[in-house]
Structure 1
Amino acid sequence: MTGPAATTDLRTRRAELRLSTRHVAHVVGVHPTTVLRWERGERLPGPAEITGLARVLSTEPALVAEFFDARRPAPAPAERTRATGLRELRRRGDLAASRVASELDVPVSTVFNWEAGRVGMPLTLVPRLARIPGLEDVPRSALVDLLVRTPATAPRPRGPLRAARHRCGLSQRLLAESVGVSRHLVGCWEAGRAPRWIHQRRLAAVLGVDVATVAGWYAVPAPVGLRPDTWVPGELPRVLRDLRDWSGLRQADVAAAAGRSVAAVRSWEAGRAVPGRAARDLLTRLYRLPPGALDAAVPRRPGPRAERG
């Protein structure tokens, strides 16, 4: 197997050396049937087997590899194409995704998957895409070029919450678990939605910053209920709602702590009733306020019915 013909016929070289398939198989470490399949081009050996064949046939591994390369099947033509430019094509033709999906007999979600690059579009659908009204004037070659074009994306803004999360080495999932919310909600916060006060307090604890810093990220002023020095008579309902939200409590939790019904707590927060002295003292201890702090927000004039005791 030293000339040009040696790279085209494995069986001929074995016959020249008067070697049986059993002997070649024994030296290479395979079954004799495997050697016959190699000679017919029905199977391809691995690198170790090519080296073994070269040794038993007294030739170079590169010549054995050339023999099999000539019999390696050609790669199948691509059956799908990238379609990340489909969204821009739809905009040019003023086409909704549902219209494209209907014309191509696929779900709308499939169109969105093509546009996001999660899956390729079957090439068989490209001619049908070109016939959709609004795209029929686009030449076939230009259509394919536009389909595979990757749309330019603006850099994702790096908000303060996301930056703080990265500094702490936390993923969205880990931060969500630490705060007690869903990963989706953390994504909404990073996109600009302001968290509730209880969540701002938890974020501050997890990220190692103070609550004022977290509030500053969202330009949200502290609610009235968290500023006792600004309380004026008549603000008690709002103060009670803010304090409960800040503490992360439900109305049922407040009712149990104050020894009242949920309906009573709901009436306090709606301004239909005023908690009595005993109830205000319990609420003061619940929210860890200075003694008598809630009195500053109690209405001075008779209005909502006041509880006794």
Structure 2
Amino acid sequence: MNQRVRIYQQGTPAALQYETFTLEDPARGQVSIRQEAIGVNYVDTMFRDGTFPVQLPFTVGVEAAGVVEAVGYEVDHLKVGDRVGYFFALGSYAERRVIDASSLIKLPNDISSEQAAGLLSKGLTAWALVKQVHRIRAGETIVVQGASGGVGTLLARWTKSIGATVIATVGSAEKKRIVESWGFDKVLRSDDPNLAERIQSANGGAGVDVVYDLVGQLTLDASIHALRDGGTLVHVGNASGAATPDTVLLASRGIQYIQPSTPQFVNSQNQNMAASEVFERFREGALGPLELTRYRLDEAARAHQAIAARKHTGSILLIP
């Protein structure tokens, strides 16, 4: 028997139920995998709390890494024993699962399952933001609102490695102390009531070129006012609550507003190429050391509470 985490109704972290189940055999185009590390992402909380409607009961989670244990027919590129990971396939909070083979990325020998589960979803999101949504150029000044979280950390470090000036914001004094040691040009508190002015002051009094906002309600207004006319606002997430910008103001100032999702830019056609680039940047040290916080699979509710409290830095894993 295997264990998984499901919801039978959407709601608070208490809705997450740890239960026993029997794994089905893989069908055509599918494999079954034993999962060694499961990535916890902000989007998981949105499926759990009702932001996204789902068919119930629902196994939470989108990302994990592990080992192929059985292969269905018409799967030619994978075999039993292959190490694999995936970044967006619903149902990851489980010891074992059946999954479409097309969702899987073969892992290099030097990337562990924990590293893959901490890197793939967040790293591919950072790849899309830096290489596709807005192609960062050396010399640009960018702001990462929420730079201490999983995506924010990788995004800020990646843009810095390209040669951008990076202004990072974080949500607490402790996070500020930590992130200041990472070598960004300026680190500010996201709850500063004069945040827009602080950002422009850090940029010599001028508006910045790009803001990546992962925080939402708390920071979106400051993000808009910190931008130069004609700048780019990339609204990536809503860690502090949903927010909607003043579109009339954006249009009057010529600000480009983008609200992307990773699957728009990463798919089965390019995921292996994009993942290879993420792994290579990690090897080079451009993404910094990978900070992982681990919980047991049966502690999924605690992991979701940690996300809601915005008290962690780096990536969160569930270990089956």
One fold, TM greater than 0.5? no
Bigger proportion of residues as helix? 1
**Larger Rg belongs to:** 1
Higher RCO (CA < 8 A, seq sep 6+): 2
Give the structure-1-normalised TM-score.
0.20
Bigger proportion of residues as strand? 2
Give the structure-2-normalised TM-score.
0.20
